Structure 1
Amino acid sequence: MDLVVVSVLGADRVGIVAGIANVLARHNANIVDIAQTVIRDIFSMIMLVDISKADVDIARLRQELEEAAKGLGVIVAVHHIDVFRYMQRI
Structure 2
Amino acid sequence: MKAIVTVIGKDRVGIVAGVSKKLSDLNININDISQTIMEGYFTMMVLCDLSYSELEFSQVKEELAAVGEELEIKVRIQRQEIFDAMHTL
Alignment match, 1:45: 44
Query: Structure 2 vs 1, CA of residues 34 and 89 (structure 1 numbering), >3 Å: closer, same or farther?
Result: closer
Comparing 21-30 with 78-87, which one deviates more in the overlay? 78-87
Alignment match, 1:74: 73
Instruction: Return 5+ residue gaps in structure 2 as ranges.
Output: none
Residue identity opposite 2:48 in structure 1: V
Query: Structure 2 vs 1, CA of residues 71 and 82 (structure 1 numbering), >3 Å: closer, same or farther?
Result: same
Q: What do the CA deviations read for 1:3-44 (whole angstroms, capped 9, x no partner)?
A: 010000000001101111111101110000000000111000
Matched residues in 1 for 2:14 and 2:88: separation?
37
Q: Runs of 4 or more off by more than 4 Å in structure 1?
A: none
SS in 2 for 1:84: helix
Alignment match, 2:23: 24
TM-score after normalising by structure 1:
0.92
Alignment match, 1:7: 6
Alpha-carbon shift at residue 86 of structure 1 (Å): 2.6
Task: Please give the root-mean-square deviation of Cα atoms over the aligned residues, in Å.
Answer: 1.3
Aligned length: 89
Q: What do the CA deviations read for 1:43-83 (whole angstroms, capped 9, x no partner)?
A: 00000000011121211111011111011110111100010
SS in 2 for 1:85: helix
Alpha-carbon shift at residue 87 of structure 1 (Å): 2.8
